Structure 1
Amino acid sequence: MKRVLIAGAVLLFSANALADECASATTQTDLNTCTGQQYQAADKKLNQTYLAVMKRAAVPQRDLLKKAQQAWIGLRDADCAFAGSGTEGGSIQPMIINQCMTEKTVEREAFLASLMQCEEGDLSCPLPPGN
């Protein structure tokens, strides 16, 4: 339950931060660029968290985590392609896709980060508690 609350708080904070960062953009190109940069930053943070989780995971779990992450990437990409399909060919499409990619990436990073907070005796958490 604690992990769900942490992930929820991160998502609420990140949604407001995403909107504020691009508030000064004045053209669609600026918005597309800004949202693209937001996605790249979220992806970088996700990759750092993923590597930390991989280090903490037991050797047999690493293949499972890798498969889960690859499946999640496929789902994220398909969901965001669908989300942007209503604006196919429009100048706003990259922004819609970038926002979707960012939101889903922030959500995944929060989930993986929550796994790093496992408490002793929590059998629903696959990682050992931190030191």
Structure 2
Amino acid sequence: MILATLLALAAAAQDPEIDCDNAMAQFELNACAYKEYERADAAMNAQWKVTAARMKEIDADFDRSQDNRPGYFDTLLAAQRAWLTYRDQHCASEGYTMRGGSAEPMVISGCQTQLTEARTKQLQELIAEY
């Protein structure tokens, strides 16, 4: 169901430009919400690269002679993978408030945007401590 929604949104993205400041029809609102999510996701991916690189630097400088736990990057990667699963499943669940309705994709995209922006901030804060 989510894949069909994303494919429909991708097709809509190829249509003429939508004025998101004046969107009124549900398909426009859905497309604009998805564009916001794409923006947030791109920002998070950019921050991920910075944070991951910093964690790899810390790992390279870390004395492992008395600590055999997973490294900074390995732990971050596992957390990010778990977080992506959480985000997508949580937002699908939140979308069920409009289950089957034309606004469901908008609710899902809005949720994904909100959580992705929060995760970007977490990734920034994580390396601010080092």
Shorter-chain TM-score above 0.5 = yes
Which ranges of 4 or more aligned residues in structure 1 deviate by more than 6 Å?
none
Larger radius of gyration: 2
Specify the SS of the correspondent of 1:49: helix
Residue by residue over 1:12-43, the C-alpha shift from the partner in whole angstroms, topping out at 9 and shown as x without a partner, is: xxxxxxxxx94411110110000000000100
Q: Tell me, which stretches of 5 or more residues in structure 1 are unaligned?
A: 1-20, 119-127
> For residue 44 of structure 1, what is the aligned residue in structure 2?
42
Q: What aligned pairs does 1:54-69 form with structure 2 within 5 A after superposition?
A: 54-57=52-55, 58-59=58-59, 60-69=71-80
When normalised by structure 1's length, the TM-score is 0.71
The two structures have a TM-score, normalised by structure 2, of 0.72
Give the superposition deviation at 1:117.
2.0
Say yes or no: does 1:88 pair with 2:86: no
Unaligned stretches of 5+ in structure 2? Answer: 1-18, 60-70
RMSD (Å) for aligned C-alpha atoms: 1.4
Q: CA offset at residue 77 of structure 1?
A: 0.9
Residue type of the alignment partner of 2:87: R
Q: Distance in 2 between matches of 1:86 and 1:34?
A: 19
More helix by share: 2
Q: Are 1:79 and 2:77 matched, yes or no? A: no
Output the CA distance in 2 between the equivalents of 1:80 and 1:99.
8
Aligned length: 99
